[in-house]
Structure 1
């Protein structure tokens, strides 16, 4: 399971939501080998008064949080981070200094999905990649 939260200034984030979602999803499908139909993205467009960030970031500053089952290798997680940042930079022309990501890993048993604890689910993809 992978869920993604994306935060940014509303005036900058709203116009690029579809493209940003596609970039992130393509990387998740390729690197984590998630089934293409498993897109769980939530956008949090914020007003300037609700989004404080360092002065060395621009209004394009975006924060991406990836929440997923424990089990991916360190190399896989690094590849995911690199690929998402590179593609956002290349396709949306957002400077790499304005892109921050955090991966949160949670044991399967701490998720409730389709009426079951996550460790009791039959998945159509591998977590250990």
Structure 2
């Protein structure tokens, strides 16, 4: 069960946020995540609350106010190959929609299965 958080600078229109979330979900589904396994949130922060370097470490174009940080928390076990597939799917989809890929940063966070309580306080994998 991936849990996706995107962080952007405000203000961003709903279409911008929807496009990013849709690209992430499509890439996750292509990697084997069930279509209905969609848990996403958007953090839209003021410039003073979301600071980032416009060039670090090796971006080809400067990051702009359209920079988006995508955090994907998921259970351990995905290979580097699968993570690359997810990253490529996200970036390719967004680039195809006119997003500058240099404005996209993706971070995976892995957690063990016993750390998820999906509902009702049940730890079904513990």
Paired residue for 2:67, among 61, 77, 87?
61
State whether residues 13 and 45 of structure 1, in contact with CA within 8 Å, keep that contact through their aligned partners in structure 2: no
Q: Distance in 2 between matches of 1:118 and 1:85?
A: 34
2:77 aligned counterpart, secondary structure: coil
Q: Does 1:28 align with 2:33?
A: no
* Equivalent residues, number: 118
User: What does 1:77-88 align with in structure 2 at a 5 Å threshold?
Assistant: 77-88=83-94
- Please list every run of 5 or more consecutive structure 1 residues that lacks an aligned counterpart in the other structure: 121-129
* Structure 1 residue aligned with 2:103: 98
1:5 aligned counterpart, secondary structure: strand
Q: Distance in 2 between matches of 1:7 and 1:62?
A: 6
TM-score using structure 1 length:
0.83
Q: Which runs of 4+ in 1 moved over 4 A?
A: none
State whether residues 61 and 99 of structure 1, in contact with CA within 8 Å, keep that contact through their aligned partners in structure 2: yes
1:117 aligned counterpart, secondary structure: coil
User: What does 1:1-129 align with in structure 2 at a 5 Å threshold?
Assistant: 1-12=1-12, 14-31=14-31, 33-55=32-54, 56-91=62-97, 93-114=98-119, 115-120=121-126
Q: Distance in 2 between matches of 1:118 and 1:111?
A: 8
How far has the Cα of 1:118 moved from its partner?
A: 4.7
Q: Distance in 2 between matches of 1:97 and 1:51?
A: 17
RMSD of aligned residue pairs (Cα, Å): 1.5
Q: Distance in 2 between matches of 1:71 and 1:118?
A: 17
Q: Distance in 2 between matches of 1:13 and 1:69?
A: 31
Inter-CA distance 38–67: structure 2 relative to 1 (3 Å threshold)? same
The structure whose residues are more often helix, as a share, is 1
